[in-house]
Amino acid sequence: MMGIPPSPLSGKEGDPGSLRSPMRLSLGPLLYYWPRQRVLDYYAEVTGWPVDSVYLGETVCARRHELRLDDWLEIADQIAASGKEAILSSQTLIESEAELKNLRRQVEQGRFTVEANDMGAVSLLGKRARPFVAGPTLNVFNGETLGLFAGLGAKRWVMPPEMSGAALASMRLPAAMETEVFALGRLPLAYSARCFTARRFNLQKDACEFRCLDFPEGLALTTREGEAFLTLNGTQTQSARVYNLLLELPALRAAGVDILRLSPQTEHGGDLARLFRACVDGQMSSQAAWDEALALLPGEPCNGFWYARPGLDQVAPAQAVGASTL
Amino acid sequence: MASTRQPQRLELVCPAGNLQALKAAVDHGADCVYLGFRDETNARNFNGLNFDDQALAEGLRYAHDRGRKVLLALNTFPQADNWPRWTGAVDRAAKAGVDALILADPGLMAYATKTHPALRLHLSVQGSATSYEAINFYAEAFGVRRAVLPRVLSLAQVGDVIKNTEIEIEVFGFGGLCVMVEGRCSLSAYATGTSPNCQGACSPGSAVRWEQTTSGMETRLNGILIDRYADDERAGYPTLCKGRFEVEEQTYYAIEEPTSLNTLELLPQLLEAGVAAIKIEGRQRSQSYVASVTQVWREAIDLCTRDPAGFAVRPAWMAQLNKVSEGQSHTLGAYYRPWK
């Protein structure tokens, strides 16, 4: 990996007209199912990455049990000890009483902030007056709904990935509400009760043999003419292309975004975090970082959602950005 | 929370994409008809479909004269730059005198509660509420009286939800099957830029291309090949989760076959579980679809209510429903656990 400058955690604010603090970086929850040791090794490495917040926990499938809540709490302690904010992400689709039980335990642990990914989590957190992060699957598309969540204790919200930059710019944000945007990774597009990985092997979800463990970045789904289209990750369906908003950093900054979310992938996570860090700190141009990131990503780039276009489109930003214009 | 529910009538809730469909539903025995305005405020925002104020007034008159209810779906998520369109729709619906609104967005629920406190609210399937904790939140915060469950729970899980909430539970009984959790699917937005959550449509007709090629009939969505049909196969509409794709060198319906949900055989169990209403999908379907499906379900619900133990699905019902099913086939979906 060449050309990435050293990465201080707090950089100089690039836009002299802004009073906001520099944009921060977060590492989203691990969406794939990896063997226990691989997860532990991964987060040991993450403690050295230039990210400010780390989201932890299983958000996709209740059957994934390589790590339990207590394991995640231990990782959270290590993340916190490295000077980063650790947040526990709740499961997106809750179906059973056992899953509700896990959710309650997560809410009641009381040591780490929780990212609420369904309304049951919002309700439990609100009743206990716990500050929380309103996750990307809560479908917050307007200020009125965000205001309600703020009243229940939301301090931060994660924009739904399908929301555009223009829509974000017209949001009325509650006072002191932080905005986080999914900025790098395969897009989590859909959730189902059905497991598509199990389906590929003619297995039922209840007897899935934990096949997800064999596919650390999911199963590639292509069209019948070989076009990479989607990624099957158990009950979750992701894009095949990799959402990358590096070129949109000035627009993100102008929209008042506080935190950029990077989604875990098997390789190069640290290098990608350093590229984002260098850009955010104004030490590298978006274009240079984008060019360098291209080879580190597990698929073609896309950014269409930001421009209110089909998500798989890659739109050239009107202003090709150099460091000087940051 | 122990439920003290009294045995109640199982309501049949039928779709209406226009006034003719509404009348067909009412004439064939629907207890409730649900519909939407002609714009992106509802999740069936298709050309030529839905109601303007005049059609709504006439539909309300037709249904109310016959003792039936009209539910209006405002179940997309209001956009920040266009909030008044959704609140305006709430006001229009309230003024018209609909029997309930079907909403998905908490902000819009707060508006409806504050502005029209007497108006009955239902939680749309687009609200993605799959647990009683989520459902009870809407009940407590906004006085929501009924929740429509996403098509993700098994029959036993539906029963658990009902035992732990005081509000009515409506489930899907028949029609097009969303494989993904409703409200949690951006596949169409990703492929076409049209989102069920925001624009109220999935796999829109404007993005569809049918092409006869030397390798067969190809169906595309915004240029993406969704399926290719041999000469002896019947080409279907390219809903993007119902196409054939390749995964690990196998070509198959990777997400779901073209099929419809049909839970007719579960009626006694749904009744026993305390389900308050059965929803028929298909506001985009024809008047004859609505008539046919409503007639079968009316008959079945009446028979089942009279004699649940003796209830048996009549082959003629299944034949009639299969005729209007996607791919002429049906599934129990998530109600039947192995489907998952």
Per-position DSSP letters for A206-248, written without gaps between them: GG-TTGGGG-TT-EEEE-TT--EEEEEETTEEEEEEEEE-GGG
Domain ranges, residue B95: 11-177+259-339
The reply to whether B247 and B270 lie within a common domain is no
User: Exposed, middle or buried by CB within 10 Å (0-12, 13-18, 19+), for A81?
Assistant: exposed
Q: Which pLDDT does position A14 carry in this prediction?
A: 41
**Nearest chain A residue to B184, by CA:** A190
Question: Given pLDDT bands bounded at 50, 70 and 90, which one contains residue B250?
Answer: very high
B142 and B227 inside one domain: no
According to the model, what pLDDT value does residue A12 have?
Answer: 37
Q: Do residues A120 and B141 make contact, with C-beta atoms less than 8 angstroms apart?
A: no
pLDDT of residue B266: 96
In the listed set B207, B235, B252, which residue is the last one of a domain according to the structure?
Answer: B252
Domain count, chain B: 2
Which among A141, A194, A204 has the least Cβ separation from residue B80? Answer: A141
| Whether pLDDT at B296 is above 80 | yes
Model confidence band, residue B3 (pLDDT cutoffs 50, 70, 90):
very low
Q: Is it the case that residue A11 has pLDDT exceeding 50?
A: no
Would you tell me which residues 3-62 of chain A have a C-beta closer than 8 angstroms to some C-beta of chain B?
none
- pLDDT tops 90 at residue A161: yes
Average pLDDT over residues A260-265: 98
pLDDT the model gives residue B51: 96
* Averaged pLDDT, B58-82: 97
Beta pairing class for A236-244 and A228-233? antiparallel
Whether residues B16 and B79 share a domain: the answer is: yes
pLDDT of residue A318: 67
Confidence band, pLDDT 50/70/90 cuts, at residue A7: very low
Q: Which range, A286-290, A318-322, B41-45, B232-236, has the best average confidence (pLDDT)? A: A286-290
Instruction: Please check whether residue B226 lies inside any domain of the structure.
Output: yes
| pLDDT score at A190 | 98
The residue among B77, B158, B186 with the most chain A CBs within 10 A of its CB, best to mutate, is B186
Mean pLDDT, to the nearest integer, of B35-54?
93
> pLDDT digits over B123-172, tens only?
999 999 999 999 999 999 999 999 999 999 999 999 999 999 999 999 99
Same domain, B167 and B48: yes
Chain B CA closest to residue A197? B254
Nearest to A27 by CA among A241, A216, A277, A257: A277
B38 and B145 co-located in one domain: yes
Query: Of B252, B267, B299, which residue constitutes the final position of a domain?
Result: B252
* Confidence check: pLDDT of B4 > 80: no
Q: Which of B266, B275, B303, B300 is nearest to B7 (CA)?
A: B275
Asked if pLDDT for residue A17 goes beyond 70, the answer is no
> How far, in Å, CA of B103 to CA of B138, rounded?
11
Q: Does B40 touch chain A (CB under 8 A)?
A: no
Q: Which residue, A93, A62, A58, is CA-closest to B130?
A: A93
A195 shares contact with chain B (CB less than 8 Å): yes
- Domain boundary (B252, B272, B306) is at B252
Write phi, then psi, for B237 (nearest 5 degrees): -60, 135
Residue written as tokens 């996607």? B326
Q: Mark whether B22 and B49 lie in a shared domain.
A: yes
Residue B225 has pLDDT above 50, yes or no: yes
Domain of residue B102, CATH code: 3.20.20.380
B132 lies in the same domain as B60: yes
For the ranges A1-10, A53-62, B207-216, B308-317, which has the lowest average pLDDT? A1-10
Task: Average the pLDDT over A89-94 and give the result.
Answer: 98
pLDDT at site B336: 85
User: Same domain for B148 and B203?
Assistant: no
Same domain, B161 and B67: yes
Phi/psi of residue A315, nearest 5 degrees: -100, 135
Least confident range of A117-126, B23-32, B81-90, B327-336: B327-336
**Pairwise CA distance, residues A127 & A119, whole Å:** 12
Any B CB within 8 A of A256 CB: no
Q: In degrees rounded to 5, what are phi and psi of residue B101?
A: -105, 140
Name B278's bridge partners: B12, B171
Asked if B134 and B242 sit in the same domain, the reply is no
Q: Where are the domains of chain A?
A: 24-186+243-325
Q: What CATH number was assigned to the domain covering residues A24-186+243-325?
A: 3.20.20.70
User: Which of these ranges, A250-264, B2-16, B266-280, B319-333, has the smallest mean pLDDT?
Assistant: B2-16
DSSP code of B228?
E
